[in-house]
């Protein structure tokens, strides 16, 4: 018996899986920050932004000295700029 691909909601399944992944990632980030899961989902609706936030948090939470952290952030300023802007907008 042939599978009827038209009766399968592939797009819906993909979207649902992406939403669950985004929620889990937001939960992980909120556990190491003062932001809630909801804050993260609102501030960073795109998975790529959440990944950049995770990278920025990794730098901030590292055991490196302050100057090394600053240098890492500056060297990735273009990548982190949107994340920083979103975070500061939330605080302002």
d(CA 12, CA 9): 5
**pLDDT score at 46:** 87
> pTM here?
0.61
Other CB atoms within 10 A of residue 51 CB? 14
**pLDDT confidence band for 91 (50 / 70 / 90):** confident
Report the Cα–Cα distance between both ends of the chain, in Å, rounded.
60
Residue 15 in 3-state DSSP? helix
Closest-CA residue to 63 (of 75, 76, 72, 52): 72
Residue-wise pLDDT tens digits, 16-50? 766 666 676 666 666 556 778 888 888 888 888 98
Plot region of 65 (φ>0 → left; ψ -120 to 50 → alpha; else → beta): beta
**pLDDT score at 77:** 94
């Amino acid at each position: 018996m042939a599978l009827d691909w038209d009766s399968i909601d592939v797009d819906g399944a993909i979207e649902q899986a992406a939403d669950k992944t985004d929620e889990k990632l937001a939960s992980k980030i909120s556990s190491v920050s003062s932001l809630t899961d909801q804050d993260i989902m609102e501030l960073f609706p795109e998975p790529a932004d959440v990944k950049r936030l995770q990278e920025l948090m990794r730098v901030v939470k590292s055991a490196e000295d302050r100057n090394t952290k600053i240098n890492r952030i500056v060297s990735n300023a273009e990548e982190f700029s949107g994340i920083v802007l979103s975070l500061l907008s939330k605080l302002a």
